[in-house]
Structure 1
Amino acid sequence: MSDSKFIILGREIKKGESAILEMDVAKLHTRNNLSIPVIIERAPIDGPVLLLIGGVHGDEINGVAIVRDIIRRKYNKPKMGTVICIPVFNVFGYLNQQREFPDGRDLNRVFPGTATGSLASQFAYKFTQEIAPLVDYVLDFHTGGAGRENYPNVRCDFNNETTLNLAKLFGAKFIIDSNHIAKSIRDLINRMGKTILLFEGGKSLQLDREVINCGVNGALNIMKHLNMQEGELKIDTDYFLLKKTKWLRAPYSGMFESLVTNGSNIKQKTVIGRIYDPYGEFDKNIIAPFDCCIYGLNTAPIVYKGDAIFHVNVETK
């Protein structure tokens, strides 16, 4: 970032200044305005601009808690550069404890949005125009959805050396090679020539302290690497590069019980789960088809044949 003025949402933030601004989302049918807080901390010394986002999907509470903890611990006050925090991005979904916007759309599938489109599209357009151009780096915090629990991991494009290097420094156990999904925030930021990491951990509508701590520590590691904070990076685990992944699917319908913990390294032919009926007529083991790491679990007690139950790697580095 240069010595030029830093203006966000119509307000100039001077060096060494803090601000909490409101980004208007929409006017409710009750004629009340709905807006989201945008928390900005600018250091006295110029440097990179880092954006931290939680709650793009309104039911992904761990991401909200991660950004909240970063603010509470004052990690968002940089020694150089600027940190922008948006703890609750999809305020509609957060209020309703739902993934989507009130118009039923997935906010993370409408970027860059349009000024005259759907409610979600208009909100995406405002972010694209007023915040995204200002940032250099983005950390986007997510959790598993639809009853699926993700072991803490970061996702990036392995062909992008800058992003892959940041992913290694984040400190999560698993780093997953992931394509950019069209019209997502990650796709938008990438197309703008900026750097973004997507963090996944835990499951929707649940707080997980291990996941939250991993996300907070990872963000702090990135800030230390960018010289926005002081101190040594804290990396507590070796990382696995998961180049190719797949879901193992239920071979039967029935009551499902996992026999392994999320994040486990499993050998081929290990019994990793059971599916059985409520009448005691059958009880089937689920066998690992190859050596793999499990980084995603279906936590539903009842599954149907073909349901995704274990998210595993097919190829590891």
Structure 2
Amino acid sequence: MNAIKPLHLFGETILAGESKTISMEIAKLHTMNKLKVPIIVERSKLEGPIVLFCAGLHGDEINGTETVRQIITKKINKPKKGTIICIPIINIFGFINQTREFPDKRDLNRVFPGSKTGSLASRFAYYLVHEILPNIDYVIDFHAGGAQRFNAPQIRIEQGNSELKKLAEAFHAPFTLYSKNISGSFRSTCDKLGVKMLLFEGGKSLDLNEDITREALEGTKRFLEHLDMLNSRKKASEPKHTSVYIEKSNWLRAKYSGMFHGIAKAGSFVNKGDLLATISDPYGKVEHNVKAPHEGYLINVNHAPFVYQGDAIFHISTQLET
């Protein structure tokens, strides 16, 4: 194998075999305090792919941040060959404030590819696209469900992309969900630039879940092993489950407002007519049953203590890949 070429990020050079933490500084807090986004780079002395593991596009999705943190602390990010870049928190503003959005109220995952002179979120997107992505071959972007909605561990890819499907098969999450790229998203921009991305979803916002983190870590090791990048001191586990590929799914929405008592668990298979939850008034007079409209896997379950009419409460598969 050939030696690795120098890597240049944000004006700094990282050589073959070098470990370095780079600080991305784009804007200060309103108090004028500096705000740095750490980028942790680990390089082998051998040529190979450059992989980015990132989280925190949405500042309240902290389980993704915990996953990338453990990738670092468990030294999974020390590659056998190539380079691994870790960004545990991209939206550092949202992480501080425990909010999904940037201070400008924009969703970072809807403003890509961004603008150098645009809004704060747009500027962050711009620098990710122009400073990071030109160097990257593969990305795993770790997310969690928002607004108290708990995602079963899943990989999301666009249908019809055979290379992404091979990567998803290597990761081997319990579920692989085919979903279209959303305009303005990080995933859509990666696709346009030829960067191969897996989007991992698991857990919910403002919550840490050990089972979700474990699935993400084991999948990451299998992903790196597939690329022949996994450090020889680490071992990728054999999956203990089959991976279910979901072609179509829909949301079941609340028909009533009230206190929400969830019964069915994320990741479970339900049959038509199974009791999923009840919605009750707080005075003990009314209780409505929520039943499965058809059979399928529950890939997202609402954990909110109360819901309003029309709220999304269960995400259920309608068609599996055969």
Report the Cα distance in structure 2 between the residues aligned to 1:312 and 1:217, rounded to whole angstroms: 25
- Provide the C-alpha distance between the structure 2 equivalents of 1:222 and 1:306, rounded to a whole number of angstroms: 38
Distance 2:299 2:315 in 1: 6
Give 1:2 deviation, angstroms.
8.3
Deviation at 1:165, TM superposition (A): 1.4
Aligned to 1:134: 135
Corresponding letter in the other structure for 2:11: G
Give the Cα separation in 1 of the matches to 2:168 and 2:262. Answer: 29
> Structure 2: how far apart are the matches of 1:88 and 1:234?
29
Q: 2:307 aligns with which of 298, 303, 307?
A: 303
How far apart are residue 232 of structure 1 and its match? 4.7
In the TM superposition, what are the counterparts of 1:142-291 in structure 2 within 5 Å? 142-229=143-230, 230=232, 231-291=235-295
Runs (5+) with no aligned partner, structure 1:
none
Q: Offset of 1:290 from its aligned partner?
A: 1.0
- What is the CA RMSD across the aligned residues, in angstroms? 1.4
Whole-Å separation in 1 of the counterparts to 2:182 and 2:4: 34
SS of 1:217's partner is helix
C-alpha distance in structure 1 between counterparts of 2:273 and 2:32, whole Å:
60
- Work out the CA distance in 2 between the residues paired with 1:187 and 1:129: 15
Shift of 1:233: 4.9
Q: Which moved more, 1:167-176 or 1:197-206?
A: 167-176
What do the CA deviations read for 1:9-56 (whole angstroms, capped 9, x no partner)? 222211111100111120333333222000000101010000000111
CA contact (8 A) 1:170 1:235 kept: no
Listed as ranges, the matches of 1:77-88 within 5 Å are: 77-88=78-89
Percent identity, please: 45
SS at match of 1:260: coil
Quote the offset at 1:154 in angstroms.
0.7
Q: In the superposition, relative to structure 1, how do residues 288 and 24 fare at CA in structure 2: closer, same or farther (>3 Å)?
A: same
Q: Within the alignment, does 1:28 sit opposite 2:29 as a pair?
A: yes
* Alignment length (residue pairs): 317
Q: 1:201 to 1:297 in 2, by over 3 A?
A: same
Task: Quote how far apart the aligned CAs of 1:301 are.
Answer: 1.6
- What is residue 65 of structure 1 aligned with on the other side? 66
- Structure 1: distance between partners of 2:118 and 2:23: 22
Instruction: Name the structure 2 match of 1:7.
Output: 8
TM-superposed CA distance for 1:311, in Å, is 0.6
Change (3 A) 1:29 1:253: closer
Is the aligned partner of 1:292 residue 2:296? yes
